Amino acid sequence: MEPLISLVIPLAVPLAAVPVLVLVLLRRRGGRRTTRAEAALAEVESASPAVIADWPCGHREDLSRLLAADRAARSAEFRQGLHTAASREKDWSRLERVAAAERRLEQARALDGSACPRTRRPA
């Protein structure tokens, strides 16, 4: 009985790690994590300006800063000319989406009126 236990225990430990490994791989979605800027873009794209106007001021400003930083980083990459044709097309599409999301945030700010003052904080 004891030799059987000494064989089972070394096999059980690696098998116990399999569910954790599967969860990690599923979360990464093909080896690519969602950045905060991508999450902010998706959040703004999924809501109307009227809904965004009801969000807390600080949250809207955080989203605005994340989008501005993402736009600045991608614009800098364009200026450096480090793109292939395919990546240039993809990033140009992303820049257009970010610009549309920024316009949506501005529309929400206009709907909200002066209830949410715009602050200038470093990105």
**Is residue 99 one of the residues assigned to a domain?**
yes
The structure's pTM equals 0.61
Does 20 fall in a domain? no
Domain count, the chain: 1
- The mean pLDDT value of the chain amounts to 74
Confidence of residue 100 (pLDDT cuts 50, 70, 90): very high
59/73 Cα distance (integer angstroms)? 21
Token pair listed for 115: 């209830």
Provide the domain limits for residue 103: 35-115
Asked if 105 and 67 count as a contact pair (C-beta separation under 8 A), the reply is: yes
Domain membership of residue 110 (yes or no) is yes
CB neighbour list of residue 116: distance below 8 Å, 6 or more residues apart = 57, 60, 61, 109
Q: Could you tell me if residue 82 is inside a domain?
A: yes
> Nearest Cα to 122, choosing from 65, 75, 74?
65
Residue 88 pLDDT more than 80? no
Task: Name the amino acid, one letter, at 82.
Answer: L
